[in-house]
Structure 1
């Protein structure tokens, strides 16, 4: 069943992958942000509503001016018409307060938003009315607004001469602003990097922007602008992957701050179109157009309107292609289903045969396993028998040799003892003869020598006997030999048992002890066994072998 599932998955896997792609995580985040645009717009609307609510609680013109300024800032990239309304209200309050600083700031706000709305004539007229020397603190802002307005006009210029003229004015005002902003400010970084971009000095602009980018607050609109400028550096360096990455970062920031007037998403839409990702291109350009219309950003609407028909046509063609592919896919899937059914039937029959073969093989393996087990047992028994025979042959050889030596020695000693007694008898030393005959000293000496010879011979055969025998006993019951002893009586009893002499009567004759004494010794040592009492002598028989 497992094999069948694997095969089925292998056949269907290409179908599951149909139309699937692995996208960059940044693009996935952008897709989600685009889909959640209403969420960010609602958040923006709540912030604006709170600011408007503050107007109900103040009658101070100074406070109203501050609130109108904040509302202008909130609406600037969100809804240009409303931003213009609050810029004019700010200007009216500033004139009422007769504060030149506030008046010039309000005029600059008006000129800036008019530029966004495409009101270039009105914007330039306002800029010409400003005597910026009366408010030196606003010089940087003044030059920046001029640069931006003339930049819009260059984009809209109808002739090459006008375009070149406005580009020169844009650069002139931008370069003038560089001397008026702190070098650590966003305004300076944007102006400086734009100048380097125009000069084609990409390797100088890139570190300036990239090093500054991490310092920008997430909620700052400057984040999207700086990211866009970084993307343009990579455009100049002809690094499309980095260009797409930074445009995506910029677009995410724009959308999350509910900015409706932007460039990045529109630029990214065209890159998606060139890359063949028509679905994304259509989604991005559609979102860009809706936002530009909502904001009433005329220049952005004009730029998008030139791209939209191209992307829309490609999107429609792709939909037609997708429909054709879907029909083709359904037909292919139907044919494949019939093929799979036939294949499943064949597989089922084959699996039944395979199952029967596996059962037969399993039965044969079981029988073979049983035979192997029996053979292993037989081999073990045969090895034991061979070892026992080998050991017996070795013992016989050694003991036959020792026996012959011992017999020869005893014959010599008996002959010497006979001559000694004969001398006593012939010389008439009857008392000495009687004493010699009655004495057991000769026998005891010979027995002692005999046991010593036995001990040496046995330990020669089993040099580790004492240690291995002691290991079979309880720790505190180990055999303790006296000084000069090779074996004691207890060890000799079990040495004889190890040699195969298990009968207590034979052991008693060999060691010159009574049968009951031998029996007691055997019983006492069995009681001291570390393991089962009944296995003790079997364990003794394994001493000196590899069988434990």
Structure 2
């Protein structure tokens, strides 16, 4: 699946390079490639693991050299420390197999890694250790080309006015010597003429050499990236940034697809985009370039990225701050406009509210009068019932007290003190208390005959209350009955029912805890239970 993904990606890039140059399309392809970069890296990693496994399982010196050579090539532009490690091992194994050509090629690969990592002194020392007189023409071309690249890279690295011209001329001389061994029809001839044009900084010659390579030879992905980047730099040097950008984009795409971490295309593209004002995109690309440089591990490349990244980051932060300030200003303006609109809407609303209030007050007055009248009638009904009940009970009580008083006086006169106890016992105070509760329940239910039925709607069926004795309320319900009569003082309720205040609270909380109503709505629900029709 990963192989198909990579092949499909390369087809898109190659197709675009031969068709119309569409900047937006290329940018989308690059951004897509960056999203899929882990897939390409995973493919590369799996390939390296496979070679390492084969290396571990072989004891043949020739096979060990061949597999080490493969690992050295895989790591060359991918990971610096590993590339250096396997390049050194390759030299040792080449010496073991005593193959002069392989020894030379191993040293040349090691020089490539050394200069890629910025170890120019070591690279030059290695070049001096090679006896060029014993090399064949093909090897001599490779030697001269690597020598030239080392001197030219060193020229860019030093960048002074004393040593740089000397190293630059050494590089040019090496390239010119290499051309003497090549035919104009060979791909390597165009690579060297392109490098020579870059050293002489001849933009038109750079374009001609590398475009000739692109159109006439089948190049690897890494070579395609290198050629496109060089063409892009030539256009950039003469101020043609739009075309330069297209070539940098293609070079960056090929670098990603070839898993090249030792690259400058994405860094060049980031710098160009930054100067064009595309700060956000430039920042995203330079971040990836920084990750690539860190992954590869070359101090030289990290330093190059570090020179650009802070500038882009600082400008990006300033741009974000500016946009945030603009957004804040627009927000404040909109807020001000909103406040003004809200003020006018509030004024209109207030005028309309006054008109509605005037209408509602008339309706509310009638409603309140009706409600007040109903409450007054209910209150009068309760008072009438309990006044009649109270007068009747009071008369019976006074009559009884008068009879008891006379009996006690007679017993006192007759000095029959023991008989006084029998008189007190005859009062039957416990029975009278029970009768008091019974009478209280009777009068209450005559006013609120549906009280218990309504009260039970506040509970689940299994928690509802029943009247066990005829017309007698459960003790807990009697508390709420007194509340419905208008007695809200719990101390008075405790006195009437002959309970402690704590008992009242315990009963009340116990009942409310079983209710399906919220605690803060329970008391109001009780007070809304209607009395017998009083119309």
Q: TM range, normalised to the smaller chain?
A: 0.5 to 0.7
**Given the alignment of the two structures, is residue 62 of structure 1 paired with residue 67 of structure 2, yes or no?**
no
Deviation at 1:243? 0.9
- 1:240 corresponds to which residue? 241
- 2:224 corresponds to which residue? 223
- 1:299 corresponds to which residue? 300
Counterpart CA distance in 2 for 1:202 and 1:209 is 11
Structure 2 CA distance for partners of 1:26 and 1:91, relative to 1, 3 Å: same
Deviation at 1:220? 2.7
Counterpart CA distance in 1 for 2:226 and 2:97 is 34
Task: Verify the 8 A CA contact 1:174 1:191 in the aligned structure 2.
Answer: yes
Deviating runs (4+, > 6 A) in structure 1?
332-341
Alignment of 1:11-26 (within 5 A): 24-26=24-26
Deviation at 1:229? 1.6
- 2:196 corresponds to which residue? 195
TM-score of the superposition, structure 1-length normalised? 0.55
Secondary structure of the residue aligned to 1:304 is helix
Secondary structure of the residue aligned to 1:221 is helix
Counterpart CA distance in 2 for 1:185 and 1:330 is 65
Counterpart CA distance in 2 for 1:134 and 1:269 is 45
Deviation at 1:335? 7.7
Alignment of 1:296-445 (within 5 A): 296-330=297-331
Structure 2 CA distance for partners of 1:204 and 1:112, relative to 1, 3 Å: closer
1:333-383 superposed Cα distances (whole Å, 9 cap, x missing partner): 668899999xxxxxxxxxxxxxxxxxxxxxxxxxxxxxxxxxxxxxxxxxx
Task: Verify the 8 A CA contact 2:23 2:246 in the aligned structure 1.
Answer: no
Deviation at 1:331? 5.2
1:65-88 superposed Cα distances (whole Å, 9 cap, x missing partner): 221111111111110110011101
- 2:126 corresponds to which residue? 126
Structure 2 CA distance for partners of 1:187 and 1:296, relative to 1, 3 Å: farther
Counterpart CA distance in 2 for 1:250 and 1:302 is 21
- 1:274 corresponds to which residue? 275
Alignment of 1:442-457 (within 5 A): none
- 2:143 corresponds to which residue? 142
1:182-241 superposed Cα distances (whole Å, 9 cap, x missing partner): 544443222112323444544444343224214555753100011012112212443111
Task: Verify the 8 A CA contact 2:267 2:289 in the aligned structure 1.
Answer: yes
Deviation at 1:250? 0.6
Counterpart CA distance in 2 for 1:154 and 1:199 is 12
1:79-102 superposed Cα distances (whole Å, 9 cap, x missing partner): 011001110111011111111111
Aligned length: 323
Counterpart CA distance in 1 for 2:168 and 2:275 is 29
Deviation at 1:320? 1.3
Deviation at 1:326? 3.5
- 2:210 corresponds to which residue? 209
Deviation at 1:38? 2.0
Counterpart CA distance in 1 for 2:47 and 2:186 is 26
Query: CA RMSD for the aligned pairs?
Result: 2.9
**Given the alignment of the two structures, is residue 179 of structure 1 paired with residue 180 of structure 2, yes or no?**
yes
Secondary structure of the residue aligned to 1:29 is helix
Deviation at 1:28? 2.0
Alignment of 1:31-180 (within 5 A): 31-136=31-136, 137-157=138-158, 159-180=160-181
Task: Verify the 8 A CA contact 1:116 1:298 in the aligned structure 2.
Answer: no
Secondary structure of the residue aligned to 2:262 is coil
Task: Verify the 8 A CA contact 1:77 1:259 in the aligned structure 2.
Answer: yes
Structure 2 CA distance for partners of 1:215 and 1:72, relative to 1, 3 Å: farther
**Given the alignment of the two structures, is residue 262 of structure 1 paired with residue 249 of structure 2, yes or no?**
no
Structure 1 unmatched ranges of 5 or more: 1-21, 342-548
Query: Which is greater in Rg?
Result: 1
Structure 2 CA distance for partners of 1:250 and 1:185, relative to 1, 3 Å: farther
TM-score of the superposition, structure 2-length normalised? 0.56
Deviation at 1:255? 1.5
Task: Verify the 8 A CA contact 1:196 1:205 in the aligned structure 2.
Answer: yes
Deviation at 1:286? 1.4
**Which has the higher mean CA deviation after the structures are superposed, 39-48 or 233-242?**
233-242
Counterpart CA distance in 2 for 1:218 and 1:46 is 24
Counterpart CA distance in 1 for 2:186 and 2:271 is 32
Counterpart CA distance in 1 for 2:245 and 2:195 is 19
Deviation at 1:181? 4.2
Counterpart CA distance in 2 for 1:46 and 1:266 is 27
Structure 2 CA distance for partners of 1:126 and 1:198, relative to 1, 3 Å: closer
Task: Verify the 8 A CA contact 1:217 1:223 in the aligned structure 2.
Answer: no
1:102-158 superposed Cα distances (whole Å, 9 cap, x missing partner): 111111111111111122221111111111232313111111111121122112226
Structure 2 CA distance for partners of 1:340 and 1:224, relative to 1, 3 Å: farther
Secondary structure of the residue aligned to 1:287 is helix
